[in-house]
Structure 1
Amino acid sequence: MKRLYFYTFFTIFLNFYANGQALPITEVFNYVIGTNLGGQGGWVNQNTGDEVLVQTGNLSYSGLLLSTGNSVSFAGGGIDPQLPFNAQSGNTVYASFIFRVTDLSTLTDPNGGYFAGFGQTATVFGGTVWLRTAGTQFNIGINKATSLTENTWLPTNFDTGTDIFVVIAYDLAIGEARIWINPAPGDLEAVSPPTPDGTANLNTTRSSLNRFFLRQDSATETPSIVFDELRIGTDWATVTPKDPTFSLEDKFKDRFVVFPNPATNGFVNITSGSQAPKDIHVYDVLGKLLIKQTISGSRLNIQNLKAGVYILKVAQDGRSETKKLVIR
């Protein structure tokens, strides 16, 4: 009888670590403050060195379901916790999280490094999220795997201390990684996802995914990061639950309004519900950056642009949105 009990327990143990948790998963890091993340809630440590630690406090994103529990922090090189889940193949796997870079001083490698993503095994990754410095700021990239030369870097730069809501997806049917940065509150919990901010199609396709990981790459590739509110699932709505108390009026306040559009007199107004400065990027249809400017008001001078169609990217308070701008 004892052998039977032992065999049953051992089988359950092996199945858990072979197959992981069933999706969807919501991880709010509700563990003892100051403890190592590895070994808690299904997390398994890889490598050695500095630990990823549970800390008090939460990160937040307007319109997203209110944060609960705690958060975790890490920096530099060290242990890489991984959260196994039931193996997925032939479908699309989504994950969302909020993160904040608190110190960029250690991120000195010009290629940057990746700090989170999906895994096919403990060492084979896909849908990796990258960071690199951009002057005193940083920007974000998505990679189908881990090759330095195959990142898709997004144009918006962010300041340290900014809470950033990220959604990533890996489409196992076609082999494509996608990323959304600060999706509009009106797109949260939608049946279909909005257009991604970036996609990555290069490199070897992963045939399946069975884990999410956090990575402390090295002393020069991983800045100081606070990480919170991890969700993993197989559809957009599951990983972007909206706050039921967030009003429709608030949603419209958070969206950028561009007018006149089409523009005909050499300027365009960009308004929102916030009075904070706006970081503006204007690209032509081939992706060439034509205007990079921070405005404190609402008016953007476009006198030097010829008639045509352009891509306007606006970022404010850690939130960004892309719009089509027509000039006649």
Structure 2
Amino acid sequence: MKNLFSFGTPAELAINFTGEDSRRKEGDLLIYAPTDDISGTLRLTAKKLDHGGIKVELIGVIQTTVDKSSQFEFTASVRALLQSDTLDGTEVHPAFVHRVVLTVVQELPFAFVNVDKPHESYYGKTVKLRYFVRATVLRSYAPNLTKEQDFLVHSPEVAPELNSTIKMEVGIEDCLHIEFEYNKSKYARCSHVCPYTWKSSSVRRYHLDDVVVGKVYFLLVRIKIKHMELAIVRREASGSGLDKLTDTETVTKFEIMDGAPVKGESIPVRLFLGGVGLTPTFKNVNNKFSVKYFLNLVLVDEEDRRYFKQQEITLWRKQV
């Protein structure tokens, strides 16, 4: 009687993707393009396992980091690997049609062909967009056994058209006038009361391995500037209404000037985006979240007062 009704020893589940050794990774996760098929094997190890079937699912979800139980599933596909009455030709008593015994090791291949993967993966502070394969061993008299394995989807884009001129108006009336020119686009100064004002006619686009190249011109300097910084800021927003979450993070920054500038001086700027840990810009993905990036120009005077303003930039992925 014990042999008939015991739950057996739980199995160890491992999900292995095809071509793991040759495929690119980011951290520990494999990288796929949206059009790539996802295939591999599910490896089960157990001395004894009673189950009512084994399945694998490819799932894409958006979930907030505050409440992981609240998630939006935007893609899903299921593959049945084993039925309860077809494992190793085991005979099953009619009274226990859901009972099958799995011994030692079983490797079960799976493949997800032409499954829609519409969005790029994103792991942020307040929100995650995840893709993963989930294996489930169904059991009638005990909790199901599950195993999840994440993977990344990177979505390359076609090179956008060249940007029109961007104009940034920066100034402290009768004290400081600056002109910031980069990558053949020009920021034009103005004279308004501190802090800076900033106006732009369009958003500059850069791919993730691009280089921001330019110069900062000091047209008028009547305050004592101590140093100047250029930073990239990421602003992440998820949810809506009372549940809206926002996180602002300085991804990287560097000092482009140390010491007081003089009128007519120009400071070169060269900011490499590759290897910084940037992602593409996300615009209202499934009405769930957005991610924006900004160039942040900061000047600090001798009294440690900071004058700054941000210019939005759009980041895109050139290749997987």
TM-score (norm 2): 0.21
Q: Which has the higher contact order (CA 8 A, sep 6+)?
A: 1
Q: Which has the higher helix share?
A: 1
Q: Which has the higher strand share?
A: 2
The structure with the largest alpha-carbon Rg is 2
